[in-house]
Amino acid sequence: MTVLITGGAGYIGSLTARLIRASGRATVILDTLENGHRKAVGDAPFVQGDVADSSLVERICSEHGVDEVVHFAAYKAVGESMSNPEKYFNNNVIGSQKLFGALNNAGVERVVFSSTAAVYGTPSTVPVRETDPLHCESVYAETKLMIENTLRWYAQTTPMRHACLRYFNAAGASDDATLGEDWRFSQNLIPHVMKAVLGHSPVLQVFGNDFPTPDGTGVRDYIHVEDLARAHVAALDYLSAGNESITCNVGTGHGTSVLEIIAATERISGKKVPHEIVARRPGDPSQCYADAGLITEKFDWSPQRNLDDIISSAYAWHSSHPQGHDS
């Protein structure tokens, strides 16, 4: 089997691509390299291009014998999506729709899609279940939901089946510290914590300490990126076995606060994390973590790494790669 991995030169994409290859599948990676890194691909077959280029996608599928796809390629900055919605609708939604059309024309019937827990918005209860109401609070989240719905209709009208994976907070780096997240382009908490502890930024801003949580700071579900990569392989196996389309959360099932992240970083690094408490950001939920029961049941998957593994791997990666893959 050959897997086309769109966005496979990015943070999660590159780690997942490596694990998919290790599982015995052939791969081909398609990435614009706008936010990805050629070095992260290694020696895997690689094509620089856009998922919206239908003729290119069909040619790749034909030349490489593609029979399944993992679709990561997307813009993902929430703030930018609100200031430039056209960019996000054009790239994420229209690009994905052109991709699925080309895949259907090429006879590809299995798609694993990188979605997001952001489709739930601010949850009314935790843990968050797949059956909970969807309430997108950003253009970014809305684009992911629109892609989910596009796949749902393809499943009803064509032979194409899908697994939509709603990630919670991907974090950490590869176990060998060769692949990780570039803090220059990340809006995620842990890269910013690492930037502060390693002295590459003056102070970490903690947005609010008056939430109704045990220590007053926001609580999120942090999942190690290696566990997340395993979930994609499990999703490919699930679809390859002939199972029906599915949408499921990918998380650990428990939350960690900002101050707990800082404390773990200080303990593991032996250094202080300079930080200051500032006002809450509008719309930030007090806590959000997954009910991961469905993916455990259907994929026989569960997280194997804990918070210390996340922090240790992130610290090793950022220490040795302060400029990301350009280091």
Q: Which residues are catalytic?
A: 140
Contact 102, 61 (CB under 8 A): yes
Cα–Cα dist 172/226, whole Å: 8
CA distances from 234 to 19, 109, 277, 296 (A): 11, 17, 40, 10
CA distance 193 to 203: 9
Q: How far apart are alpha carbons 114 and 41 in whole angstroms?
A: 18
Identify the DSSP state of 238: H
Q: What share of the chain is helix, strand, coil (3-state, %, to 5)?
A: 40, 20, 40
- Beta strands (DSSP E) in 94-199 are 110-116, 161-167, 169-171
Q: Please provide the DSSP assignment of 119-132 as one string.
A: GG-S-SSSSB-TTS
Beta partners for 311?
A: none
Strands 222-224 and 110-116: unpaired
Q: What burial class does residue 188 get, using C-beta atoms within 10 Å of its C-beta: 0-12 exposed, 13-18 middle, 19+ buried?
A: middle
Reported as type and span, the H/E element at residue 275 is strand 275-278
The residue with tokens 């390629």 is 73
CA distance 113 to 101: 15
